[in-house]
Structure 1
Amino acid sequence: MNDTIESIIDSSHARRLIKHLTDLRDVRLSAALEESAKLALLDSIACAIFGSQFDWAKMTASVAQEAGDGPVTLLGNGRSASPVAAALANGTAIHSFELDDVILGSLTHAGAAVIPAVLAAAEVAKSSPMSLLAGIVAGYELDARLGAALGTAPIGLGFHTTSVAGPLAAALAACVVSGESEDTVASALGIAASTSSGLKAFQQGSGGMVKRLHGGLGASNGVLAWQLASRGFSGPRQAIDGQFGVMAVFGGKSRNDGVLSRGLDENWAITRNWIKAFPCCALIHTAAEALEQIRAESQLTPNDINSVRVGTSKRCVIQNNDMNPQEPMTAQYSIPFNAALALTGDARDPNAFLPPQLHAPAVRDMMKRIELFVDDEVDAAYPDSFPAKVIVTANDGRQFERSVWDAHGTPADPCSAEEIRAKFRKLTKGSISEVAIEEIISAIDELDHASSLERLFNALRRGA
């Protein structure tokens, strides 16, 4: 084992993890890993093309374009920019509307950081399809394990784990794709660690647009670290779990270093990726599903409902109980809003979170009848899963109860490959042509047999 990789951190757990992941570029991935990586790529690109239409994504792309064209494609835009700028714009577009993937147990959105990084590195280095897929698998794994090893302390302190773990995952992924030396990998991770950040102040009544940026920051900071390290810029070797490293600074008492290397080669993060069906915070999906089921089976109309009680975790009661969201972001984090929407409209429709639907009288009236409470069984499951128990009481006294332990799209109830392709078609319809939609799907589907990435990048440029 190279001494540089061994010295990235003091812990043997992290040494084994980094060595294991950098070695992926030298082996052929299993068919299951390749398929999972392709589907993660497809889903993130769908989210980016859909997300690129919103003001926050357009602003970020405009900033990325200020220095002119570059070697990396802007997803959904048709233009190009420098690697760092393109990663910022593409990560923001992916994370633009709460539809991007989630890794359970780590509370991170891996795709928003990793996918822009691997695309930037691959387009610059003219990498092979196999290198691209290896980078995706490596990036998701580091993102998931680091997020899980940090525990719940970062969230309690007000940090968004996506942009804490994201820069390191993006940096490693870019290094794997571009075939960097182990010394460069070590420096890139050290540099990336100094950019870990992201406050959860966006959960306040006026959250603004900044949460959308967190995916872009993770991606762009990782790409910046890779580019600097590839030019000889050195970084600290103990930045993951050495003194004042990411684990110590963000994880504190909840850190669990053993998670970094436990069961390597087993239960890969990319194979248990949560593909989201609802455009809202992942903690809310089970409540929305449960209420959809009650609505369908009971045939209750909004006027028939007297009260709704949602049993959830302490974290959700603190974080997701906004009774008067005024912006799409705060609505997407509000259980009362999403619960009311599930009972009166379509909680899966992104347009329902935008003005004027955001202030729909039927939804606002239903919200007044919704109460959250801490359910001990549900709370004990957090953060490994996000179950919900709901109780709907009708005006005539009838009660309808439903518990959903695992949302559709999670590893316990995964989306099929065809469902993910259907999500791609749904999100991109109207933004790009049907021919472009099918070409992107086909180009990604054939990556494990392709000799180059030319077809994919041509399809992405034409589809913008």
Structure 2
Amino acid sequence: MTGTIDSAVATRPVTRELATFAAELRYENLPPEVIAMAKRCVLDSLGCGIYGSATPWVDAVARTVGLLGQAATASTWGRPLKADPLGAVMINGTAAQGYELDDCHDQSMSHYGAGVVPAVLAVAEAMGPFDGKQIVTAVVAGYEVGTRVGNTVSPSAFHRGFHPCGLTSTFASAAAISTLLGLDAGQYVNALGLAGSQAAGLMAAQYGAMAKRFHSGKAAQNGIIAALAAREGLTGVRDVLEAPYGGFCSTYAAEYDLDYAVRELGEHWEILRNGFKQYSSLASSQTTVDALRAIRARAGITADEVESVLVETTEMVYVHCGWPYVPNGETIAAQMNLPYTAAVTLIDGTAFIDGYTDDRLADPQILALADRVKVVVAPDLDALGKDEMRAVRVTLTTKSGQEHTENVVYRSGHWKNPLSDEDIAAKFRNLATRVITSEAADEIQRVVLDLDNQSDPVATLARRAGEVR
């Protein structure tokens, strides 16, 4: 079931099918592996958000929220400020996406942890109590709806210049809160319709604007508004996904496939295709990081020995991060750039937080090495499927003329090349304990891993996530 903005779309009520499935979702019907994945998503998002809370862009958002004088009913992470759920979620959602560490669903090219987890925890704290099973179910609904909507328009919406996080996390947040609050199918349809009317986000932010961090926080906020307004009787576009004119898919994508939204509902779980990051850069550069780390380990090459690096890859990776790096004082410009990230990897052996500090954004050694990284589109890689859209073939040439080549199809953390539970837990502790106490991090981890047995987990999570060192 495909469509373009110039052709009529099949009249199958895709929006209602998806909304009905999500409205009827119950914890008792979730497979154990789906429940386990929801806990991973919550833990990883909390770690990313707690660490991201200390960044300048989150400070700016927090000051903005503080100026609005909101009722103090929901907690922010990594800081003492409280606000209403809309203010808290904009801060925490921005923080979770704040340092390019948050999870990634590769096919839909979006990061749902920043859109779903802050929304669920903020609303649950302000409007609860809700038990752990309700929290898990809401998280699953958010990921399942968001990823499926994202899949329908990926990668076409991205190529038109829209940031998927700003578009589809709005649906994800709306679904999560609709499930948490128990909206019926009709209300759920309206919530998705209202979410689609608020979808926004421009990819030009990747070249050097804090706005990219803000997209997920705003999407999470928009989703809460959509769910609450639908509960109060505000109607949305009831065929928001399939509408041939002015619908979400027909407006944002030149090509789309509505079947992705409803394919094997309840049998195939998209949340299981969610992935996690071990590097502090956009997901599209991380196959290159893996390839260069493999070459370094195998050949023992140092950065000083590198003459050039050729990265053959897909059109999507080329557009997303393959341009020549020019420092402009913005951290995001480095994190979203493949030549910079490749250079940092060759120098540091990885591409984590320390590779993107202010003092390194115009480091002469990094700049010189980044200038020797060339990114090109390889037709054979570009012809692969959506799960393989970040495939690379990296050839490193040394100053002595030796060539070393490494192929990577699935980045470390992709669902086909997953991180272990131990890796995810270690990442959480590494990030969280930079901001909050070790005792607070320990209790957050314990509560999240036992989430479905907790009667009021959010009270503990909210308190501990603000327990700054």
TM-score by length of 2: 0.92
Q: Which residue of 2 aligns with 1:155?
A: 158
Q: Which residue of 2 aligns with 1:116?
A: 118
Q: In 1, Cα distance between the equivalents of 2:197 and 2:91?
A: 21
Asked if 2 retains the 8 angstrom alpha-carbon contact of 1:121 and 1:178, the reply is no
Q: Which residue of 2 aligns with 1:3?
A: none
The 5 A counterparts of 1:26-41 are 27-41=28-42
1:223 lines up with 2:224 in the alignment: yes
Q: In 2, Cα distance between the equivalents of 1:10 and 1:190?
A: 16
Give 2:270's aligned amino acid: A
Spell out, residue by residue over 1:69-118, the C-alpha distance to the aligned partner (whole angstroms, 9 max, x if none).
42111122232111111111111000101111111211111111111221
Q: In 2, Cα distance between the equivalents of 1:258 and 1:313?
A: 24
Q: In 1, Cα distance between the equivalents of 2:232 and 2:180?
A: 16
Greater Cα shift, 383-392 or 318-327 = 318-327
1:135 lines up with 2:138 in the alignment: yes
Q: Which residue of 2 aligns with 1:312?
A: 313
Deviation at 1:390, TM superposition (A): 0.7
1:247 lines up with 2:252 in the alignment: no
- Residue in structure 2 matching 1:83, options 56, 74, 85: 85
Deviation at 1:458, TM superposition (A): 3.4
The 5 A counterparts of 1:38-437 are 38-66=39-67, 67-123=69-125, 124-204=127-207, 207-242=208-243, 243-252=245-254, 254-320=255-321, 321-326=323-328, 327-381=330-384, 383-385=386-388, 386-437=390-441
Q: Which residue of 1 aligns with 2:462?
A: 457
**Could you list the runs of 4 or more consecutive aligned residues of structure 1 that deviate by over 6 angstroms after TM superposition?**
none
CA-atom RMSD in angstroms = 1.8
Q: In 2, Cα distance between the equivalents of 1:417 and 1:58?
A: 31
Kindly tell me: are residues 212 and 346 of structure 1, through their superposed partners in 2, closer, same or farther at Cα, counting changes over 3 Å? Answer: farther
SS in 2 for 1:373: strand
SS in 2 for 1:27: helix
Deviation at 1:314, TM superposition (A): 1.9
Asked if 2 retains the 8 angstrom alpha-carbon contact of 1:443 and 1:459, the reply is no
Deviation at 1:26, TM superposition (A): 6.2
Deviation at 1:346, TM superposition (A): 4.2
Q: Which residue of 1 aligns with 2:3?
A: none
Q: In 2, Cα distance between the equivalents of 1:52 and 1:250?
A: 31
Asked if 2 retains the 8 angstrom alpha-carbon contact of 1:25 and 1:176, the reply is no
SS in 2 for 1:391: strand
1:444 lines up with 2:445 in the alignment: no
Q: In 2, Cα distance between the equivalents of 1:160 and 1:196?
A: 10
Deviation at 1:28, TM superposition (A): 4.3
Asked if 2 retains the 8 angstrom alpha-carbon contact of 1:10 and 1:238, the reply is no
Kindly tell me: are residues 10 and 119 of structure 1, through their superposed partners in 2, closer, same or farther at Cα, counting changes over 3 Å? Answer: farther
Q: Which residue of 1 aligns with 2:17?
A: 16
Deviation at 1:236, TM superposition (A): 2.6
Kindly tell me: are residues 222 and 73 of structure 1, through their superposed partners in 2, closer, same or farther at Cα, counting changes over 3 Å? Answer: same
Asked if 1 retains the 8 angstrom alpha-carbon contact of 2:314 and 2:381, the reply is yes
Q: Which residue of 1 aligns with 2:4?
A: none
Greater Cα shift, 44-53 or 176-185 = 176-185
Give 1:352's aligned amino acid: G
Q: In 2, Cα distance between the equivalents of 1:26 and 1:398?
A: 56
Kindly tell me: are residues 265 and 325 of structure 1, through their superposed partners in 2, closer, same or farther at Cα, counting changes over 3 Å? Answer: farther
Kindly tell me: are residues 308 and 199 of structure 1, through their superposed partners in 2, closer, same or farther at Cα, counting changes over 3 Å? Answer: same
Deviation at 1:353, TM superposition (A): 1.1
Asked if 2 retains the 8 angstrom alpha-carbon contact of 1:390 and 1:402, the reply is yes
Deviation at 1:418, TM superposition (A): 1.2
Deviation at 1:412, TM superposition (A): 1.0
Greater Cα shift, 347-356 or 209-218 = 347-356
Deviation at 1:284, TM superposition (A): 0.6
Deviation at 1:218, TM superposition (A): 0.8
Spell out, residue by residue over 1:199-218, the C-alpha distance to the aligned partner (whole angstroms, 9 max, x if none).
111133xx221101011111
Asked if 2 retains the 8 angstrom alpha-carbon contact of 1:45 and 1:94, the reply is yes
SS in 2 for 1:159: coil
Q: In 2, Cα distance between the equivalents of 1:13 and 1:188?
A: 14
Deviation at 1:382, TM superposition (A): 5.7
Deviation at 1:461, TM superposition (A): 4.2
Give 2:95's aligned amino acid: A
Give 2:135's aligned amino acid: L
Asked if 1 retains the 8 angstrom alpha-carbon contact of 2:53 and 2:59, the reply is yes
Asked if 2 retains the 8 angstrom alpha-carbon contact of 1:127 and 1:178, the reply is no
| Count of equivalent residues | 453
SS in 1 for 2:311: strand
Spell out, residue by residue over 1:293-337, the C-alpha distance to the aligned partner (whole angstroms, 9 max, x if none).
111221122222221111111232233123223221111111111
SS in 1 for 2:239: coil
Spell out, residue by residue over 1:41-71, the C-alpha distance to the aligned partner (whole angstroms, 9 max, x if none).
0000101000000010111122223314421
Deviation at 1:10, TM superposition (A): 5.0
Deviation at 1:196, TM superposition (A): 0.5
SS in 1 for 2:25: helix
Asked if 2 retains the 8 angstrom alpha-carbon contact of 1:313 and 1:382, the reply is no
Q: In 2, Cα distance between the equivalents of 1:461 and 1:52?
A: 10
Give 2:424's aligned amino acid: I
Asked if 1 retains the 8 angstrom alpha-carbon contact of 2:50 and 2:465, the reply is no
SS in 2 for 1:201: helix
Give 1:90's aligned amino acid: N
Asked if 1 retains the 8 angstrom alpha-carbon contact of 2:291 and 2:407, the reply is yes
Give 2:188's aligned amino acid: V
Give 1:241's aligned amino acid: E
Asked if 2 retains the 8 angstrom alpha-carbon contact of 1:25 and 1:179, the reply is no
TM-score by length of 1: 0.93
Q: In 1, Cα distance between the equivalents of 2:355 and 2:385?
A: 28
Q: List alignment gaps of at least 5 residues for structure 2.
A: 1-9
Greater Cα shift, 391-400 or 60-69 = 60-69
Q: In 2, Cα distance between the equivalents of 1:77 and 1:267?
A: 39
Deviation at 1:11, TM superposition (A): 2.6
SS in 2 for 1:194: helix
